[in-house]
Amino acid sequence: MNLVWKLLRQHISIPQFVGFFFANLVGVVIILLGVQFYKDYQAIDQEDSFMKADYMIVNKKIGALSGLSGTQHTFTAADIADLKESGFVEKIGAFTPSSFNVKARFDVEGFVSFSTEMFFESVPDEFVDVKSEAWAYHKGSNEIPIILPKNYLDLYNFGYAQGKGLPKLSEGILGAMKLKIIIEGNGQNDEFEGRIVGFSSRLNTILVPASFMRWANGQYASQEGEKEPTRLIMEVANPTDERITSYLQEHDYETDEEKLEASKTTFVLRVIVSIVMIVGIVISILSFYILMLSVFLLVQKNSSKLENLLLIGYSPARVSFPYQALTVGLNVLVLILAVIIMLVIRSVYLDMFENFFPDFEAPGVLLALCVGLGLLVLVSIFNVIAVYNKVMSIWNRKE
């Protein structure tokens, strides 16, 4: 093989291959970085992994007058039916408020002890994406799964703890602690244990399972009959849908704008990442084209040598091999270097992510590696076949 290589490496143009190498490197780095960045961004965005992705919460605007009357900001059955008909709603559910008094106590031994009045709300289970066991309430048990607003934790960490010089608490630590819940109503007074299953930055309420709410409302509610809901949760197909905004305005409804904005940001980011990746793919395709041209030129320049090798008994596969190995080798080198560059750049932005989001856990790089490997295999197969076909055209004396 040595002698064959000595022959066939004649006319190899280093500048052409260097050109290919860097062009392809840029392309592959962009593609890998695009994939990885999107994955990392998703990890930030998915703080509420226990809530389904595209849902919104709506309530009626509370004006100066309606606030006093106390009834007008609830949703009637007709309102809900109308929303269902609107076309952008996939699923809709009502918030059920608690009709009893709730007190919570929270002790961090030796440090701090909170006690507060609070309330519970529940939504249908289908909107909560927690494994059924963790989110189930068993009748007779005194353990209640709870989802708290992220704000509570932030209030403590950045307000209270900061001011008093107390240690900051992470979601993990808090999740492992128990909350003492005292429920009063209907002449009864019982104590329960709250188990925090998660924090939500989107749900501005204290959520308990619907099954618990049904039971507790029956048990402790002072008055009979269900209240009309003041808030609705709905799953929408596309949060950027124009119809949503106009419908809400028309009916004087409100939604958490932030969520809407976040969805739009994600959407825009997705578009930007897609564009960047398309640019990367175009660069890669062009560099692939450069490589193919260089190799074809090389084959052309060495065609008499290739022909003679074929005529003295070398098989087309064996004659193709040096050029195939050359191209595949270059591709592998590009991929390795691209992965290293991607990891370096990533480590820079991951530092930033971790500063902004203390709970951020970096996802793996497996997907990006798979994409890189997939590209490598695809491009290499193309290269191998193209070189072989070129050699076969010499065999068939078509040149």
Partner 1 sequence: MDKIQLIDTLPNVFVNRENIVSGIWNQKVTFEREKLYLVEANSGTGKSSLCSFIYGYRHDYQGQILFDGEDISKYSVAKWTDIRQHHFSLLWQELRMFPELTAWENVEIKNKLTNHQSKEQILEWFEMLGITDKLNAKMGRMSFGQQQRVALIRALCQPFDFLFVDEPISHLDDTNAAIMGQIMTTEAKKQGAGIIATSIGKHIELPYDQVFNL
Site membership for partner 1, residue 397 (CB under 8 A): yes
By CB under 8 A, name the one of 14, 68, 312, 344 that touches partner 1: 312
Angle at 313 (CA atoms; ends 312, 316), nearest 5 degrees: 115
- Token duo for residue 207: 């959520």
Residues 291 and 329: their CA atoms lie apart, in Å, by 12
Q: 3-class DSSP state for residue 126?
A: helix
- Residue 157 C-alpha from the chain's centroid: 25
Site membership for partner 1, residue 308 (CB under 8 A): yes
Q: Which is nearer to partner 1, 60 or 390 (CB)?
A: 390
Site membership for partner 1, residue 347 (CB under 8 A): no
Binding residues for partner 1, rule CB under 8 A, total: 17
Residues 313 and 309: their CA atoms lie apart, in Å, by 7
Only one of the segments 1-9, 17-25, 171-179, 273-281 lies at the binding site for partner 1 (rule: CB under 8 A); that segment is: 1-9
Only one of the segments 142-150, 162-170, 306-314, 320-328 lies at the binding site for partner 1 (rule: CB under 8 A); that segment is: 306-314
Q: What is the DSSP string of 218-282?
A: HHH-SS-SPPPPSEEEEEES-TT-HHHHHHHHHTTEEE-HHHHHHHHHHHHHHHHHHHHHHHHHH
Minimum distance from CB of 7 to partner 1 (Å)?
A: 6
| Residues 252-291: x where in contact with partner 1 by CB under 8 A, - otherwise, as a string | ----------------------------------------
- Token duo for residue 394: 């010499």
List all residues 6 or more positions away from 173 whose beta carbon is below 8 Å from its beta carbon: none
Minimum distance from CB of 319 to partner 1 (Å)?
A: 10
Instruction: Say if CB 313 and CB 4 are below 8 A apart.
Output: no
Residues 204 and 231: their CA atoms lie apart, in Å, by 11
Minimum distance from CB of 393 to partner 1 (Å)?
A: 12
Minimum distance from CB of 330 to partner 1 (Å)?
A: 23
Residue type, 220: Y
Q: Which is nearer to partner 1, 369 or 392 (CB)?
A: 392
Alpha helices in 122-237 (DSSP H): 150-154, 162-164, 171-176, 210-220
Q: Which is nearer to partner 1, 80 or 319 (CB)?
A: 319
Site membership for partner 1, residue 305 (CB under 8 A): yes
Dihedral sign, Cα of residue 340, residue 341, residue 344, residue 349: negative
Site membership for partner 1, residue 384 (CB under 8 A): no
Only one of the segments 12-20, 189-197, 293-301, 302-310 lies at the binding site for partner 1 (rule: CB under 8 A); that segment is: 302-310
Q: Which is nearer to partner 1, 113 or 389 (CB)?
A: 389
Minimum distance from CB of 334 to partner 1 (Å)?
A: 29
How many Cβ atoms sit within 10 Å of the Cβ of residue 209?
24
By CB under 8 A, name the one of 114, 152, 314, 382 that touches partner 1: 314
| Residues 3-32: x where in contact with partner 1 by CB under 8 A, - otherwise, as a string | xx-xx--x----------------------
Interface residue list for partner 1 (CB under 8 A): 3-4, 6-7, 10, 305, 308-309, 311-316, 392, 395, 397
